């Protein structure tokens, strides 16, 4: 009885010891990878910041209108700092994934490979969203100015419609790139966009026919008045 | 001849050959065009008649330069029957992207190439140009009295409001010279000025619009060349089929001046005060009457801008300027006012915003339109109520306001 008890205890200790012997190097490897990821991320961030400062990225972004656009979207960071943080977290995330892989936990085997294989799609989707957002801002601004200069009432509404149209298209393209319910996204986008255009056409053509006539008349009258104004500018 | 602006850099071989065929020329008048088929031929004839009358026995020539017209302007002028007059007429067409500025550049290079002592560049839409005006434009440069000859016109107060309320006062504040016209549709230049012009590749940002003329004026003013003004009577400029919407005009005319400021700030930052430019000839006995302008639509445009473009103006204008603009939104068309000092501050804010690229430049200049219309509405009301002949007081107030803002502009320019 006593022999049996001691065998069980010793077996348990041996088992735990064996497991610890197997797990400890993995834990140490995971910790090392996390630390390495952090160190590399911090180093690359610092180098990137120096390169961007030397290239005067912040001033260039002001000239290209990116800083203004970032500010309007609520970002308080400078472009240099923003890129630095993105670089830092991207590298640190890779380190974390490698650490998880090193632990060889059930269900995580191949996770890094899968995630890295998916990374190009994520990058493309992010670029599409960022590009779409910038294009939306630019076009909406252009439409707003043109509409105000043409003295169109509701210019802000028109600009907002253009902004959201471009953003919706960009979001649909990004989701398709990520493979998120590809067919459903295309279908929903097609139905929503087509429906909105049809609804607007019907509303304007049937419900607001008189309004459309008045708007056109008003526009043509204004153009006639402008031609009649004896003002030359240059 | 040094490097500078060379013919080969601005004209294709056939165009350069046409210029070469003229041989050495003492006085060259270049008529530049872009899609101005219905006026170009007439202006070329006027110039040829003017040269035949004023330069008999001297070597003078007309050069027609087309900036890449799509409406048959070049064919219409170059294939016309020559009437056998004493003045040779050559034609050339710039290659590549169409642009009136490129035609002006080619005209200047051609004048330098043929060794002209004096040259004149005339817009093909300047239908009011009289034959005798050609000699008037060339004489100061030929006589060695001036390097840049700027036209002065008899104009109604409602004519050239962008020039009288923005371009002229800003040039006055920047360079200390009071010019009536900034983009007058024609100008005379001397060989000395032609020789200082930079090479063609440095004009690359001014291929279209009125950038080349502005650059030429800037070269004359910043290099301390002698400038005179000459009276040319009334002005009538036919823009042809070029876009004429106001926002486009602002981009086309104000943009080059803002870029000129950027090119060499050292040449204008320390200039204070201004002097009148020597003027030759006499104004007409009676200035044309001002048209019956109704400012109500301009005021409405200003109000609409204040309502919808405020987020954009906030990026261009200082808080102080915005604070002074808000109350103007409460004024109706009858009592509307936009004081010259506030207008000068608005223009300075936009110039700085343009320099710092706070918005896409095209958007920024177009966003100035409602503010400009507000200022013109106020200007019309001021001059209708004023008593000075030709609205001289009102014009002087604008010029002085810009001069007063100069120190602010210089301090903010980094």
Structure token digits, residue B221 = 């003013």
> Could you count the other beta carbons within 10 Å of the beta carbon of residue B224?
10
Question: Which pLDDT does position B388 carry in this prediction?
Answer: 64
Q: Which residues of A touch B247 (CB under 8 A)?
A: 145-146, 149
How far apart are the CA of B159 and the nearest CA of chain A, in angstroms? 5
Higher pLDDT, A154 or B205: A154
Residue B225: what pLDDT? 95
Contact status, residue B232 vs residue B183, Cβ threshold 8 Å: no
Per-residue pLDDT of chain B (414 residues; tens, 9 = 90+): 557 889 998 999 999 999 999 999 999 999 999 999 999 999 999 999 999 998 888 899 999 999 999 999 999 998 877 665 679 999 999 988 888 899 999 999 999 999 999 999 999 999 999 999 999 999 999 999 999 999 999 988 888 999 999 999 999 999 999 999 999 999 999 999 999 999 988 887 665 668 899 999 999 999 989 999 999 998 888 766 555 689 999 999 999 999 999 988 999 999 999 999 999 988 776 667 767 778 899 999 999 999 999 999 999 999 999 999 999 999 999 899 999 999 999 999 999 999 988 889 999 999 999 999 999 999 999 888 766 666 788 999 999 999 999 999 999 998
Output the DSSP codes for B378-397: HHHHHHHH--SGGGHHHHHH
CB contact under 8 A, A234 and B183: yes
Measured between CA atoms, how close is A67 to chain B, in angstroms?
A: 8
What does the DSSP 8-state code read for residue A175?
H
Comparing C-alpha atoms, which of B305, B322, B306 is closest to residue B314?
B322
The pLDDT of residue A226: 59
Above 0.90 for ipTM, yes or no?
Answer: no
Of chain A, the percentage scoring pLDDT greater than 70 comes to 87
Query: Can you tell me whether residue B61 is helix, strand or coil?
Result: strand
**What average pLDDT does chain A have?**
84
CA B85 from centroid of its chain's CA atoms = 31
Query: Structure tokens of B135?
Result: 């000699």
- Chain B residue whose CA is closest to A134: B360
| pLDDT of amino acid A57 | 86
Around Cβ B280, how many Cβ atoms within 10 Å? 15
Select from B357, B361, B369, B375 the residue whose CB has the most chain A CBs within 10 Å, as the one to mutate to test that interface. B357
Q: Which residues of B touch A148 (CB under 8 A)?
A: 301, 304-305, 308-309, 369-370
Q: How far is A63 from chain B (nearest CA, A)?
A: 4
At residue A61, the pLDDT reads: 79
Q: Is B245 left (phi over 0), alpha (psi -120 to 50) or beta?
A: beta
For residue B202, how many other CB atoms are within 10 A of its CB?
12
In a 10 Å sphere around its CB, with 0-12 CB exposed, 13-18 middle and 19+ buried, how is residue A74 labelled? exposed
Q: Do A229 and B247 touch (CB under 8 A)?
A: no
3-state secondary structure A123-156: HHHHHHHHHHHHHHHHHHHHHHHHHHHCCCCCHH
Determine the pLDDT at residue A230: 55
Q: Chain-centre distance of CA B59, in angstroms?
A: 29
Distance (Å, whole) CA A41 – CA A37: 6
DSSP character at residue B252: H
Q: Are residues B341 and B313 in contact, defined by beta-carbon separation less than 8 angstroms?
A: no
Which of A68, A138, A234 is closest, CB to CB, to B160?
Answer: A234
| Residue A228 pLDDT > 60 | no
Q: Which residue has the higher pLDDT, A229 or A128?
A: A128
What is the predicted pLDDT for the residue at B386?
67
pLDDT at B220: 96
Q: How far is A222 from chain B (nearest CA, A)?
A: 9
Mapped onto helix, strand or coil, the DSSP state of residue B67 is coil
Please, how many CA atoms are within 13 Å of residue A66, restricted to the half-sphere of its CB? 14
| pLDDT tens-digit map of A17-37 | 888 888 888 899 999 999 999
- A138, A151, A231: residue with CB nearest B304: A151
Residues 6+ apart with CB under 8 A from B296: B333
Question: Which spans in B279-326 are helix H?
Answer: 296-308, 310-316, 319-325
- The pTM of the full predicted model, rounded to 2 decimals, is 0.83
Number of H helices and E strands in chain B, helices first, is 17, 10
Q: Which residue of A has its CA nearest to B357?
A: A63
Predicted confidence at residue B239, as pLDDT, reads 63
């Amino acid at each position: 009885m006593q022999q049996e008890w001691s065998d069980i205890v010793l077996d348990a200790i041996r088992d735990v010891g064996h497991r610890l012997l197997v797990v400890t190097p993995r834990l140490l490897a995971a910790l090392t990878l996390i630390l390495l990821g952090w160190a590399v991320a911090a180093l690359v961030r610092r180098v990137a910041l120096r390169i961007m400062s030397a290239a005067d990225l912040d001033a260039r972004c002001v000239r290209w209108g990116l800083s203004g656009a970032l500010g309007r979207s609520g970002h308080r960071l400078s472009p240099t700092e923003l890129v630095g943080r993105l670089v830092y977290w991207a590298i640190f995330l890779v380190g974390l994934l490698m650490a998880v892989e090193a632990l060889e936990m059930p269900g995580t085997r191949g996770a890094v490979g899968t995630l890295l294989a998916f990374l190009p799609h994520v990058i493309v989707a992010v670029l599409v969203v960022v590009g779409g957002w910038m294009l939306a801002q630019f076009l909406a601004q252009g439409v707003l100015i043109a509409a105000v200069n043409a003295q169109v009432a509701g210019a802000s509404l028109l600009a907002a419609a253009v902004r959201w149209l471009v953003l919706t298209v960009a979001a649909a393209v990004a989701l398709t790139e990520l493979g998120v319910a590809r067919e459903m996204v295309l279908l929903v986008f097609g139905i929503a966009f087509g429906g909105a255009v049809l609804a607007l056409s019907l509303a304007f053509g049937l419900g607001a026919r008189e309004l459309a006539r008045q708007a056109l008349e008003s526009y043509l009258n204004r153009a006639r008045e402008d031609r009649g104004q004896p003002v030359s500018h240059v | 001849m040094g490097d500078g602006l060379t013919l080969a850099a601005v004209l294709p071989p056939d165009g350069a050959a046409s210029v070469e065929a003229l041989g050495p020329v003492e006085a060259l008048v270049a008529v530049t065009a872009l899609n101005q088929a219905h006026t170009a031929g007439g202006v070329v004839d006027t110039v040829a008649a003017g040269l035949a009358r004023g330069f008999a026995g001297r070597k003078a020539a007309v050069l027609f330069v087309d900036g890449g017209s799509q409406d048959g302007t070049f064919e219409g002028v170059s294939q016309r029957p020559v009437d056998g007059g004493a003045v040779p007429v050559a034609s050339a067409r710039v290659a590549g992207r169409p642009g009136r500025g490129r035609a002006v550049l080619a005209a200047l290079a051609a004048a330098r190439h043929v060794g002209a002592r004096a040259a004149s560049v005339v817009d093909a839409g300047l239908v009011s140009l009289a034959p005798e005006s050609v000699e008037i434009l060339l004489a100061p440069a030929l006589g060695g009295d001036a390097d840049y000859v700027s036209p002065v016109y008899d104009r109604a107060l409602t004519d050239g409001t962008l020039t009288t309320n923005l371009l002229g006062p800003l040039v006055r504040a920047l360079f200390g010279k009071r010019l009536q016209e900034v983009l007058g549709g024609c100008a005379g230049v001397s060989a000395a000025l032609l020789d200082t012009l930079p090479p063609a590749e440095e004009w690359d940002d001014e291929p279209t619009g009125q950038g080349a003329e502005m650059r030429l004026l800037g070269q004359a003013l910043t290099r301390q060349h002698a400038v005179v003004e000459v009276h040319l009577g009334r002005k009538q400029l036919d823009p042809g089929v070029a876009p004429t919407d106001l926002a486009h005009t602002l981009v086309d005319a104000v943009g080059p001046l803002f870029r000129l400021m950027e090119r060499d700030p050292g040449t204008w930052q320390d200039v204070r005060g201004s002097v009148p430019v020597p003027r030759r000839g006499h104004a007409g006995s009676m200035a044309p009457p001002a048209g019956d302008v109704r400012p109500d639509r301009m005021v409405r445009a200003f109000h609409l801008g204040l309502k919808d473009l405020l987020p954009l103006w906030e990026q261009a204008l200082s808080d102080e300027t915005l604070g002074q603009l808000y109350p103007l939104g409460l004024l109706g068309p009858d009592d509307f006012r936009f004081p010259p000092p506030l207008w000068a501050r608005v223009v300075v804010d936009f110039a700085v915003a343009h320099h710092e690229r706070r918005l896409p430049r095209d958007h920024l200049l177009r966003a100035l339109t409602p503010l400009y219309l507000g200022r013109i509405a106020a200007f019309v009301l001021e001059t209708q109520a004023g008593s000075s002949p030709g609205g001289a007081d009102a014009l002087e107030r604008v010029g002085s306001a810009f001069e007063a803002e100069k120190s602010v502009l210089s301090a903010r320019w980094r």
